[in-house]
Each structure stands twice: as structure tokens, then as C-alpha cells.
Structure 1
Amino acid sequence: MHANICFLFSLACFTVLFNELYVSATGTQPQSLSLNCGSENGGTDGDGRKWESDVKYITGTHPHARAQYQDSSIDSDVPYMDARIFTSEATYNLPITEKTRYWLRLSFYPSEYSGLDISDSYFSVVAGGVTLLNNFSASITAQALTQAYLIKEYSLAPMNSRILNVTFKPADKPDAFAFINAIELVPTPDLFGSGTMVGFSDQTFDATGGTLQTMYRLNVAGQYISPTKDSGNLTRTWYNDAPYLFGAATGVNLQSNESFDVRYGELAESVAPPDVYRTARGMGYYKDVNMKFNLTWLFQADANFTYVVRLHFCEFQLTKVNQKVFNIYINNQTAQADPNAADIIGWTGEKGVPTYKDYAVFVKDREGDEEIRVDLHPSTSSKPEFYDASLNGIEIFKMSDRSSNLAGPNPVLSEMLANHIAKASHKAFKTDNKIVMGTVGGVGALLFAVVCVAVYQRTKRIPGFDSNTSTWLPVYGNSHTVSKSSISGKSSQSSHLSTLAQGLCRHFTLPEMQRACKNFDESNVIGVGGFGKVYKGVIDQATKVAIKRSNPQSEQGVNEFMTEIEMLSKLRHKHLKKGIIEDIIDPQIKGKITPECLKKFAETADKCLAESGPERPNMGDVLWNLEFALQLQDNPEGSQHKSQGEGNETSEESTGNRNLEMHRKNLSLGSISEVNEESEDSGDIFSQIVNPKGR
């Protein structure tokens, strides 16, 4: 009996000990949390990430609502279409692990929710005792940034608690309310340290125990990186840097080859994904040009805060120290310069090893100072091999102040945008007052439409009738009035073109174009012209298009662009067909072009498409190339006939021929002997080009 009691006691002790060990082993691993607020079942987003409902994490009962309209820039209704609404103070209790840093992301989609005016939404958010937002208006912020939705990301300092309280409190205003569409909580390693303040050599900053807000995260010269492709399972989003470049000189995009391997070494891979280090923006290949400009990025910032500017570097072209050395300036103050100028290989020791540098700057509350400017410029003191500079990535974080505050003011709308919104509101007000008259007029319009359709159907049956209307023409036809895009975001007819162009052209809204080319992703760039960059895209889920985006520094303006549209609209001819060049080549000469002629013609065309102007041949050189290509077509083997005066060449003629020989080799024109070995009747070529003859 006594033995049985001892056995049972020992078993109970072992069970308790095992459970403690199990909890200890499993409880130390921090877990991520993704909440689709206002949703009953969570759901899965467009990237395949799973979300759960927020019901069990919130105190009290608060209504939920569904957005009445889904913006075209939102590719998935999870997690933006549902929202949790707060008309009074409410708190989320989120489970966390002690002494662990977390990313906290708050997503807002300021759309129309039933019975609510989104312009009345003003509220504050406090998390872990830090004020993240105060008197915040998601509607004003989204309008000022011309974005459909907002994501606010914060790096929360480690806490001695297992619960994170996130409190939403509506502002003390009539009809004010708070709302939230999504909450993410992601454990992270400690990615922040300490360093020197820019402009104050005797002052330092320490971000180890502080809470920070992510302001910008850019993959310089690279493409958009989605949360699912981030490193360390941190689900960060990286954007292209093009919108933040400042000045006419934006440098050149550099990209490593496919076999390039990023070797992190002692650097944690969670700092940034490998794709950030596989692209970079450099200054170019011309020393004299590089010395006359800076690579510059410009960012808007809230005043009276300290910002940590993190610059990512990785060399994938050079291999030695002092090949590329440059200075770094932040807000026109020296951050890294001679005699300690930036040398990536000097920092990392070898090619393919990434690194980053943190610099802190305080933004003062003075007019014109509410921005962060980053400049790179070649250093000359050590006489490097190349006068160049490069950068792979930029992150900017705002540090909380001494009162544990990160909240900044709502942005101020530009005068043009404010006027546009006011006119739209006035128009909507007038529409509401005339709804009765509109109903009566609608009945009459319906009758008129029935008559028009009947006439149109009868006209279509008339033999030989051909409408010039494009298949993309909207249902309201060749109206000469400007039609404003509806809230659905569909395109409308433009009235700034001629009658012919209006019949053949479709006017696209900005959201449609952004969605077609993935928000002007640099990976979709297929060309650069005088007007700006050209992006490939897909419209209506199937039609491939090219989208031109205006460059403010371009010498060509809207008038030139409209003229181009006018000309293109007239290029509708039965002999103009789409396809590839192999299919549309003249059948009379198909298979008759000599390989030598085609090769020379292709080389000429390729040189004309060179990125840099000095590398492109002038018209005289192009003419010589075309002449030589024609000679290769007429006599591909080359004639054995030589000029009879060849042996009587003077010294001046010999020097001239040597210079011409060098010039031709540089342009891949062939040598003088190749040109001289031509048929005797090739002297008429120039006259044939000026006054073409039938062939």
C-alpha cells in the first residue's frame, strides 16, 4: 500500500515536471499574429497568407462594417474590405513574448462604410504606453498621399509583459469614430543599435531600447518585394526608389548576374532579403559627368523627431579596395566623408558581402526643413580607380521622443488637390438636390436610347457600313464632354482629342494604369523616351499595352503627347498588321537577304539603341552603315576589283585612311579594305538614297 502511494506521488511529480518543461520549450518561441479586423472567419489574402478574426482579442462588443467599394489597387478583399468600428475607447489584448521586439502593423482602408462618413473619423492609437497616432485622419492622409489604403508599421521595444495593449480612442469631436482593418504582430530580432548623430560629432543615439516607426523602405533600383519574399519571415514590404529621386540626373540601374550569390557572413539575413543586394543605383561611367552632380533622394518628414537613416550596400562588380570611394551627406551635413569616405570593399573585405550603415539626423521645426535629403558624391582624395557611388537600399525610421510619442500631424493637402476635392463635393451636393429631376430625365433618356439602338442596329445591316469606333470605346460614344470617372474606377472618354481620335481612343484612369503595370514597377520598364519611361502592362485581364509615364524634367510636355496620340490614331490601314517581324516581312524578299547584310543591319540598329547618347552613331555614320549593308547584299563575298590609284596614295591620304579605318572599327563598319572590295557600280548608292529608285 505504501509502495503504491509512493508510485502515484512520483508519477504526479513527473507529470507536473514534464508539463513545465513542455510549456517552457514551446512557450519561448514567439508567434506571429495576423488579424482581419471585423471579419468573422479571417480568410486568405492574395499572397496566400492566412488571417484570423479579431473577435477573441478585443474587449467589449464593437460593430463591424464592410466597405461598399473595393479600389482597383486592392487585389484581394482580405484584409481591407472588413473593418472594426469604434465609437468609444476600445483595447486589443495581444499575446506576446517577454523581452522580444515586434513589428506592429496597422492597416487602414478609408472607404465608404454603411451609415458612416469617413471624413468624420479622427482617433488616437496607443500601444505599450507609446502614442502611435493622435487625432489621426486616415481619409486626409490617404488623399494627401494619393493612396487607397495605408499601412503604419512600428518596431516595438521589448517589454516585460506577456500582453500588448493596443488602445483605439475616437477624438473628442461630433460623430468621430475610429476604425481598423488589419493588425499584424511579427516577432523580430533586435535590428537596431547605436551610432553618431549627423552634424554632432559629440552626440550619439541609441535605438536599442526604443520604439520606432518605419517611414520608408526602398529597394534601390530594384523591383517591388512582397511580404512573402522578405527574409527572416518578417513580412516587410520593399518599394522601388524612383519616386524619391531628386534632380534631373538619376544615375543608372545596376543589376548583378543570375549566378551572383549574396554571402551574409556575420550579418543576419533578416536585415534585408538578397534581392535588395542584387540591384543598385550608380552614377554612370563618365568621370567628368559624375563629378558635376550628386545621387540624391528626398523624403518628407515630421518635424521635431530624430530619424535613423539606414543605407544598405553590397558590391557585385568591383573586387578591390579604393576602386570606388564616395562621400555621404544627409540634409547637407557630412555623414561619411574623407578621410573616412565610404568604400564598400573596404568595409566588407570582398565582393558579394552585404553591409549597412546607420546615421541619425534630427529634423528641425523650420519652414523648408521638414524633409530628409540623402546625397552621394564621388571622393577624390584617395584617387580611386573609378569616380562613382552606389547604393542598394534605404530604410528610414522615426524614433519616439522623450514623452513616448511617435504621432505626427495629418498632412496638408496641396492647393490643387484641395480644390479638386471641393469641386467634387460640390458636384455631389448638386446631384443630390436634383435627384428627382434626374429620375424624370432618366426616363426620357431611356426612351431616347431605345430609339438610338434601333437606328444603330438598322444601320449595321446596311452593306458597306463601317464604324470607326474602337472596341474599347465606352457606351456613351463620341461625346465632346469630359466624363469624370465613377467610383468604380472604370475608364471614360477623353474630350481633348479630335473627333477621329476620340472615336479610336480610350481614356484610362490612374488606378487602372497603376494596376496594369503593378504601380509602375521598374521591372516592367520596356523603354525610355523623351516624354518619359514606357511600361508594359495588361488591361482588361488580357490585352497587353504599353503605358507612357511623364517625366517632370522632360523637354516634351502634354501637348507633344496629345499630338503623338493624334498621329497614332490615324495609323489605321489595312496594310498595318500586328505580329513579329519574321511574320510581316515582305514575302517577295523573304529568304533572299544575305546573312552578312542582315547582321550588319542589326548591328547598326543595336548601336542606335545604346543607353548613352555619345555611344549612339550620328546620321552620317548610320548612312555609311546602311551603305555597307547594301553592298554586302549585292556582293556578299566582296569584289576583287581595286581602285587603280591605290598604289599612288599620298601621305595625307594615307593618314586620312588610317583615321577612317579606326573610326570604322569603333562603329563596327568594317575595314577600308572591306569597303574598297566592292562592286564597280556601287558609286550610285548615295544618289539612290537621296533619290530612291525602284528595285
Structure 2
Amino acid sequence: MHFLKKQFLIQIFLHTPFATMHIDCHVKYYYTIIYITILFLNVLKLSFSDPNVAISIDCGATIEGKDIDGRKWEMDTKYILSPGDSQPVKAQFQDPALLSDIPYMTARVSKSEMTYKFPINSTSRYFLRLHFYPGSYPSFNIEKSYFSVTVAGFTVLNNFSAAVTAEALTQAYIIKEYSFAPLDGIDSLELKFKASYKYDGSFAFVNGIELVPTPNFLDSAVLVGFSDQSLDGKTATTETVARLNVGGNYIPPTNDSGLLRTWYDDTPYLFGAGVGVTSSDNKTVGLDYRDMPKYIAPKTVYDTWRSMGPDPNVTLNFNLTWTFSVDPSFTYIVRLHFCEHVYSKVNQRLFNVYIYNQTATPSGADVIAWTGAKDVPVYKDFAVNVQTGEGQQEVLVALHPRDIGAEKPEFYDAILNGLEVFKVSDGNKNLAGPNPSPSEALAKAEQEKRKNFSKDVTRINAIWPASGVAAAFGLATVLAVVLYKKKSRMPRSKSGTSSWLPLYGNSHSSGMKSTIGGNSVACAQLSTEAAANCRHFTLAEIRKATKNFDESNVIGVGGFGKVYKGVIDGNFKVAIKKSNPSSEQGVNEFVTEIEMLSKLRHKHLVSLIGYCEENGEMALVYDFMAHGTLREHLYKGNKINLTWKQRLEMLIGAAKGLHYLHTGAKYTIIHRDVKTTNILLDENWVAKISDFGLSKTGPETNQHHVSTVVKGSFGYLDPEYFRRQQLTEKSDVYSFGVVLFEILCARPALNPSLPKEQVSLADWARSSVRKGNIEEIIDPNIKGTIKPECLKKFVDTAFKCLSDHGIDRPSMSDLLWNLEFSLQLQESGDGPKGGSSGRNTASDNINMHLSTLNLDDDEDYTESVSSSNNQNSSTAIFSQIVHQTGR
């Protein structure tokens, strides 16, 4: 290669005028030859660069140099394809937080578009790192710098301000790291920097660029919440959100596994007071990587870890949690690194992993079960979809010992060695997010600074008469500076982002119209926030998803209209609720559903993906619930017979969803239509609350109810709400009480074909409980399988929910606690066996337990549902109820 390069240069030399030039030739020919030679040298140097070797350039530098780690950084001139009006600049001040002046003290600045071009191997994945130091540069106001960066058709930065970002994150410099999947057939990578046209005087700048060839280290990631779906990481282009050496120290790029990655201490990312304990492996025995490539993570990562501790009385009462600020409307890959150094048997350390408040490991995480031995590293990839919303969202990664079910571990502990989070580009090849906002503490400090400045100005005014011309000149100078800064400060807008499944953020008109019966009817206004938080589908997309509303895809029919099974974006299953054009009432419910669900996200609430409103057609798009409604598995001829334990778990899930609505959301939300057809079951039989068309926000703090017209479903309606038209959270509790008996008895809330006293399930159940013959109304499929203590607690709770007056009903929090307690009672010991004798014994025990309750009249029934919480109190139970973030 070098020989060919040398011969090529000789040929250039021989064919230039310099070869035949006499001594007395004009000097200008000499300079011409020098210029041509330098030009060809630069072209050759670029063309002969090895695409399999990492490139590091110090933008704006005039000489090559080395950083604090001894890494060599080149000048950027030979990689500039289109310089535009770019120019090199040098920072006037070095922030003490800068560990190295290379590559941060020089930059290349451009007010127009400038392009860098790098040779690449089309079969390799590449890390691209952009370094920004928003310091002070001569003739450039860094606060005016807003720009975009596109790479190989991907928008990695849009309307980006390094100054705003550094201020919000309280950092001196910013490093943006991206990983590009192999670009088939492309032998070069172009980076285009373009100043934002929105602001006068805006410019783009960059201090350093790294391009590192890597193996394709990303794999298929399981989509959390959808066990049958995964994300193909091998074809994903990503941005690194975090890379942590959990329980260990900072690892510089030179100590990484050849990929020049930086691993940071995880301490700043820990959430809450429970930080666990850190440990390290000091054995000389090396790790057994087996089939796992060593470049996945360096040995140092697997030699340190963070665990919860040895005391189960402590570990069962907290989650070991890390929190990450992320941009909404994107999918994120979360990679967890494990290596067990202490235990050697399966089920010694078994724990659950929760990501974005969802269970990522339904069967638990057991490192030894995955690896088969100690000192063997392993990693697991998960993908989560982050909801739309304003500002940055949070993704929590939490560990908790697995203490539910038969497979209880020997030690109640959890472990993690390393953690990486990657943002995945959306369908529009976009990775750009909004500029972050400063924290409340930082904003307060800035406010105090401005307040002190105002005091200084006031003080100057006070001494004006005594200071003469000098004071006047000083004050004029201060005012001029203030006016200049005020004029020069640019607005810090947040750029919108589009997303990958299942939530999208698109801006649409806040006003909506519906054509009903041939007339255009202005419907309720959809807020800008709600419109931005949901994907807007075209009617063509909805028709394609449902095969033009093919009747074979109908999976349900409700008051709003038919519900169709559909597929969007290739293979993502959804449920599409299409409006009935003859129902004008559906318009308001349509808007209410979007307004409510666009702001809510919880494991036990059905997720709204988007909506369609076009040509008089209205449709709502939800996550697909594979097992349909809870009702159809009770008494609609479904062949699946739910066990009592399964029913309890589903009720607990639904109760958690309602508890979140009542207490965890920004405002109290009353569902107003709780029933078994509005409790849906996903592929894992997880219960989720649906249908928010009738929901209302709760009362103001100085009120106890919302006065509103009565709406809901007969059989579930709160009698107090029906009489007084005053809606409270206890109205949902009453409806849920009917659901509890519906689960227990496997019969509808209303059945007109039955004798008069049995038509209403609520009335019949209360009467049966008072008379002590509760066993007569239990579903025969589960009679004899329910432990008497469990049934007593369950019936006690359900009966209290159906009290005539809301004040006598439990709160949703108490109700949830009692259902959890009922499940614990059912799981403790061996329950009654099947068979006639077993059932008789169970019935006798049930009657004995229920006979201790005074249920003759609601007013006399004063035993609090929550009073029994003191019996067999379990911190493990309570830890399952309390949700730290309310989401």
C-alpha cells in the first residue's frame, strides 16, 4: 500500500512543471507545485485511511495531540468534505471540570452547512461520538448556537443547544454517543452540521469527533409487557443514554474491551434511600466468558456488583432502583449485565426485574440458572416503549427479591453488575430529542442570582446623588449590559420528536369535528397536550390495519361501536375501537378517552396508542389484549376455567389500576364505569382497566364530590350517586364490589330471567351474606377450593364495598390491601381438596366464619375492612402495594 502511494506521488511530481523547470523560473510556479502537492497528499491520506481503525479528530486544531489518556487526536482538515464558511476557533477559558484540553479547547464553527466525510466498512457497526464544549469563543455568542446534525440520513440532533444542555445537566462539556448499524453498500459516512434557521446569528460547532468500528454487539431485545414480541437490535441505530459499572468505579475508554467506551459509577443514578451494598471479586481466577464475546463488557464490570444485602427483613421492604431521564416517544433498549460470584446453585438468589414499572422477568431472574456456574458473565436485553408527554420522562430499573409463588429463593437478595440504556431511532430515522430543562434547584438558584442583581442595581440608584458622573457612567454600563443580554438571549424551545411503537408524539389541530348524519358537528375540543401525546392515524392506515373493517376481525361490540383486531407498522397487534356514526354521544366519550389515557401510563391500565378522526370516522387504537374481557372467562361458555387464585390475581391487578387513578395520577380520576367487560386480560393474563369514555376528574381539594349527571352501567351503579348525582371515588369502589361478587359467583350483575330477589347480583349477594348461606352463590367450579379464612376476608371486603353510603365503604387503598391479604391467606398452607366431603367441610367452615359477623343491617355492620389488616401483618404484602412513583 505504501509502495503504491509512493509511486503515485512520483508520477505526480514528474508530470508537473517543476520537473522541467529551470533555475530562473518564476517563483509563482514553485508555490503552485507546493499547493498541488499538499492537495493531493490530503486526498490520498483520506482515500488510504483504514476504515477498520478508529478515527479521533480534534476539530479546529492546527497540530495533532494526545489527550490525558494518551490517545492520539488528528486534525480535522482532511475529513472536511464541505467546509462552508467554517473556521477554527479556540476557547478563551478552560473550565476546571475539563480533564483534558484535547479535544475541547479548539472547535470548528460554521454559520452555514458543513460536512465531514469518513471512510467506513459497510459490514461494520460504528460508534460515533460528538464532543461539545459550550465555552467562550471569540466573536461567537455560545447562547446563540442552535443547530442540527444528520448522519447517513439519521437526524441525531435537532435544534440542539450545547449551552442549554450543559446548563440543565450542570456539566462543563457534553458527549453524544451513537451506534450505527451496518450500512450495506456504503463506503463512507457523512456528518452534516447545519445552523438552525429559527434564530438570527445561530451557528453550529463541534470540538471533537470519534468514529470507532465495532462488532454488531446488539441482539434481539424482549419487548417488556409483550412476551411474544422483540426488537431486532442488530439493525437498530441507537443513542447511548447511560453506561454504568454498577457497584464499581469509573472505567476510562483505554481500559474498555477495544471499543473505547466509558463506564461510569452508578451512584448518581440510584433512586431512593435503599442503595444496597457494593462488592468486588478479588479472586485471581479469571472469568469464564464461554460463548459470550469479551467485547460485550470488560472484566472490571463483571468483577464488581451491587446487591441488596443479607437481611431479608430489610431486602423485602425496598426495591434496588436506578432512574434515567429519557426523551418521550422513543423505544429504549436496557441491557443488564450479571455475574454470580457468591452462590453456585439454582434458586439461591432469585429476584424480579422491573423496567418502566413493568415486570421484565415474569419467571424471575436467576443468574446461575442462566449460566450454570459461578464466575460466568451473562447479559439480558429488554426493550421498553416510553409514553409521550411534555419534557423528559423517567425510566426506572428496579430489582426486588422474588417472594411470591412456590419458587421462594434460599436468600432474599438481588444483584446487578452493569447497566446500559440505548435510545432507538424511530420510524423516521430520528434520534433527536428536546433540549432538557434546568432542574428546579438550578432554576431557583438562577432566580436568586437575578434577585441579587436587582438589589445591586437598587443600591447603585441609592448612591446616585453622591457618586456624580462616575456613578452615572457605571449605571449606564450596567443597564447596557442588561439590555444586551436580554436582547441576545435566544428562546430555548423544545423540539418535538416522533417515535417508535407504541406511542407517538405528533402535533395536530386541537379542534375536532365529526360528521354525523351528513351534518358537520363541532365536537368537544381536544387539548394540544393530548393531541401531542398520541399518534394520529389516517383513515387509510386504520382501514389497512383492519382489512377495511372486515367483520372477521371484530372482537367486541360496545356502546361506542365495534372493536376490531388490527395490525400496524408491520406486525404490531392492536385493538381498534371504531365509532358508531349514529351515536352523537360517542363524540364526547371519544375526546374524553384521549384526554384521559394520553396522560396516563400504568401496568394495569390499557395503553392508548393513538386515534383517527377523518371524514366523519372516529377510531381509537389500543394495545391488543390477547385474552379479551374478564367477563368472557367467567360465564360466557369459555372453555378456560379460571382458578380462584387466578381470579384473585386479576382482581388485584384491576384494583391496582383503579388505585392509581384515584391516588397516583396528577388529579384524582373516577372511572365511573367499572365492570368485568372493562377489565381486559393481556397475553400473560395481566388485568388492565379500559374504557375511560365516562371518566371524570375528581373534586377540588375543598369539596368531597363532583356533581354530574348519572352515567354508568345498571347493576354496577352506586345507589348514592344515583340518588344524589354526587360522584366520588367511592362510586368506583361500589362498582368494584359488584365485580368482586361477579368473580366469586360467575354470574352477571343483572339477570332478568332469575326470580325477582336474584335479578340484581348486589342485592342477592348482600342478602345471602346476611343469611349466612354464602356457599349457595359461589361458582361451582371453584367451590371447595377456597380456604375459609380467605373467603371470609374476601366476602367481608366485598360486602363492605356495597354499603349504601360511600363513607362506609373502604378506600381503594384499603380494598387493594385486603385483596392482597386474601391472596396470602389462600396461598398459606394447603387448601381444601376437591370432592363432596371436602366441599361440605369447606361450607361448614365458611358458615362458621361468617356467623361471627353482624350483617343484619348495613348500619350495624361497623367492622372496618381495614381493621383486620393488623392480623398477620406482612411487610412483604405491603411492599407489593406501595408504588414509589405512582406509575
Determine if the TM-score, normalized by the shorter chain, exceeds 0.5. yes
Q: Does 2:82 correspond to 1:86? A: no
Q: In structure 1, give the amino acid aligned to 2:101.
A: D
Matched residues in 2 for 1:256 and 1:355: separation? 16
Matched residues in 1 for 2:117 and 2:389: separation? 39
Matched residues in 2 for 1:368 and 1:104: separation? 26
Corresponding residue for 2:56? 34
Match of 2:152 among 122, 125, 128: 128
Partners of 1:260 and 1:316 within 8 A in 2: no
Partners of 1:260 and 1:278 within 8 A in 2: no
What is the CA-CA distance between 1:439 and the residue it aligns to?
13
What is the CA-CA distance between 1:207 and the residue it aligns to?
1.8
Corresponding residue for 1:45? 67
Q: Does 2:345 correspond to 1:298? A: no
What is the CA-CA distance between 1:421 and the residue it aligns to?
3.6
Corresponding residue for 1:351? 374
What is the CA-CA distance between 1:422 and the residue it aligns to?
5.7
SS in 2 for 1:394: strand
Q: Tell me the alpha carbon deviations over residues 383-435 of structure 1, each in whole angstroms, 9 at most, x when there is no partner.
A: 3221110000000000000000000000112344235346657878989x99x
SS in 2 for 1:228: helix
Q: Does 2:388 correspond to 1:362? A: no
SS in 2 for 1:359: strand
SS in 2 for 1:126: strand
Output aligned runs, 1:487-526, within 5 Å: none
Query: CA 1:112/1:368 → structure 2, altered by over 3 Å: closer, same or farther?
Result: closer
Matched residues in 2 for 1:96 and 1:291: separation? 51
Q: In structure 2, give the amino acid aligned to 1:265.
A: R
Match of 1:373 among 385, 389, 396: 396
Query: CA 1:258/1:308 → structure 2, altered by over 3 Å: closer, same or farther?
Result: same
Query: CA 1:284/1:89 → structure 2, altered by over 3 Å: closer, same or farther?
Result: same
Q: Tell me the alpha carbon deviations over residues 76-99 of structure 1, each in whole angstroms, 9 at most, x when there is no partner.
A: 211100000011011001111122
Partners of 2:50 and 2:119 within 8 A in 1: no
SS in 2 for 1:410: coil
Q: In structure 1, give the amino acid aligned to 2:239.
A: Q
Corresponding residue for 1:399? 424
Higher RCO (CA-CA < 8 Å; seq separation 6+): 1
What is the CA-CA distance between 1:196 and the residue it aligns to?
2.1
Matched residues in 1 for 2:445 and 2:346: separation? 54
Q: Does 2:268 correspond to 1:216? A: no
Q: Tell me the alpha carbon deviations over residues 13-46 of structure 1, each in whole angstroms, 9 at most, x when there is no partner.
A: xxxxxxxxxxxxx998611100000001121100
Partners of 1:376 and 1:389 within 8 A in 2: yes
Matched residues in 2 for 1:89 and 1:78: separation? 24
Q: Does 2:309 correspond to 1:284? A: yes
Q: Tell me the alpha carbon deviations over residues 103-159 of structure 1, each in whole angstroms, 9 at most, x when there is no partner.
A: 000000001101111110000000010000000000010011110000000001111
What is the CA-CA distance between 1:248 and the residue it aligns to?
1.2
Q: Give the share of equivalent positions with the same residue, in percent.
A: 51
Q: In structure 2, give the amino acid aligned to 1:350.
A: A
Q: Does 2:335 correspond to 1:310? A: yes
Matched residues in 1 for 2:57 and 2:260: separation? 14
Matched residues in 2 for 1:282 and 1:153: separation? 29
Q: In structure 2, give the amino acid aligned to 1:251.
A: G
Partners of 1:363 and 1:369 within 8 A in 2: no
Match of 2:175 among 146, 151, 171: 151
SS in 2 for 1:336: coil
What is the CA-CA distance between 1:292 and the residue it aligns to?
1.4
Query: CA 1:366/1:349 → structure 2, altered by over 3 Å: closer, same or farther?
Result: same
Q: In structure 2, give the amino acid aligned to 1:44.
A: K
Corresponding residue for 1:57? 79
Corresponding residue for 2:580? none
Q: Tell me the alpha carbon deviations over residues 665-686 of structure 1, each in whole angstroms, 9 at most, x when there is no partner.
A: xxxxxxxxxxxxxxxxxxxxxx
Partners of 1:31 and 1:96 within 8 A in 2: no
What is the CA-CA distance between 1:213 and the residue it aligns to?
0.3
Partners of 2:221 and 2:333 within 8 A in 1: no
Normalization by structure 2: what TM-score?
Answer: 0.45
Corresponding residue for 2:273? 248
Matched residues in 2 for 1:387 and 1:358: separation? 24
Q: Tell me the alpha carbon deviations over residues 448-482 of structure 1, each in whole angstroms, 9 at most, x when there is no partner.
A: xxxxxxxxxxxxxxxxxxxxxxxxxxxxxxxxxxx
SS in 2 for 1:68: coil
Q: In structure 1, give the amino acid aligned to 2:299.
A: P
What is the CA-CA distance between 1:163 and the residue it aligns to?
1.0
Corresponding residue for 1:541? none
SS in 2 for 1:208: helix
Output aligned runs, 1:546-695, within 5 Å: none
Q: In structure 1, give the amino acid aligned to 2:209.
A: I
Unaligned 5+ runs, structure 2 = 1-47, 472-887
SS in 1 for 2:168: helix
Q: Tell me the alpha carbon deviations over residues 246-279 of structure 1, each in whole angstroms, 9 at most, x when there is no partner.
A: 1111111111114242221111111001000011
Q: In structure 1, give the amino acid aligned to 2:163.
A: S
Query: CA 1:390/1:438 → structure 2, altered by over 3 Å: closer, same or farther?
Result: farther
Q: In structure 1, give the amino acid aligned to 2:317.
A: K
- Count of paired positions: 413
Partners of 2:330 and 2:386 within 8 A in 1: yes
Q: CA RMSD in A?
A: 2.6
Partners of 2:325 and 2:392 within 8 A in 1: no
SS in 1 for 2:368: helix
Partners of 2:238 and 2:424 within 8 A in 1: yes
SS in 2 for 1:320: coil
Partners of 2:347 and 2:366 within 8 A in 1: yes
Partners of 2:306 and 2:415 within 8 A in 1: yes
Matched residues in 2 for 1:96 and 1:438: separation? 68
Partners of 1:144 and 1:411 within 8 A in 2: yes
Q: In structure 1, give the amino acid aligned to 2:206.
A: I
Q: Does 2:191 correspond to 1:186? A: no
Q: In structure 2, give the amino acid aligned to 1:342.
A: A
Matched residues in 2 for 1:126 and 1:350: separation? 45
Q: Tell me the alpha carbon deviations over residues 546-587 of structure 1, each in whole angstroms, 9 at most, x when there is no partner.
A: xxxxxxxxxxxxxxxxxxxxxxxxxxxxxxxxxxxxxxxxxx
Partners of 2:66 and 2:73 within 8 A in 1: yes
Q: Does 2:256 correspond to 1:230? A: yes
Query: CA 1:321/1:251 → structure 2, altered by over 3 Å: closer, same or farther?
Result: same
SS in 1 for 2:235: coil
Q: Tell me the alpha carbon deviations over residues 630-680 of structure 1, each in whole angstroms, 9 at most, x when there is no partner.
A: xxxxxxxxxxxxxxxxxxxxxxxxxxxxxxxxxxxxxxxxxxxxxxxxxxx
SS in 2 for 1:201: coil
SS in 2 for 1:185: strand
Matched residues in 2 for 1:438 and 1:189: separation? 72
Matched residues in 1 for 2:138 and 2:449: separation? 20
Q: Tell me the alpha carbon deviations over residues 603-650 of structure 1, each in whole angstroms, 9 at most, x when there is no partner.
A: xxxxxxxxxxxxxxxxxxxxxxxxxxxxxxxxxxxxxxxxxxxxxxxx
SS in 2 for 1:285: coil
SS in 2 for 1:91: strand
Match of 1:239 among 254, 264, 280: 264
Q: In structure 1, give the amino acid aligned to 2:347.
A: N
Normalization by structure 1: what TM-score?
Answer: 0.57
What is the CA-CA distance between 1:290 and the residue it aligns to?
1.1
SS in 1 for 2:370: helix
Matched residues in 1 for 2:50 and 2:172: separation? 38
Matched residues in 2 for 1:40 and 1:267: separation? 43
Matched residues in 2 for 1:438 and 1:318: separation? 81
Q: Tell me the alpha carbon deviations over residues 318-372 of structure 1, each in whole angstroms, 9 at most, x when there is no partner.
A: 11121111111111111003xx211101111111110100000000014698111
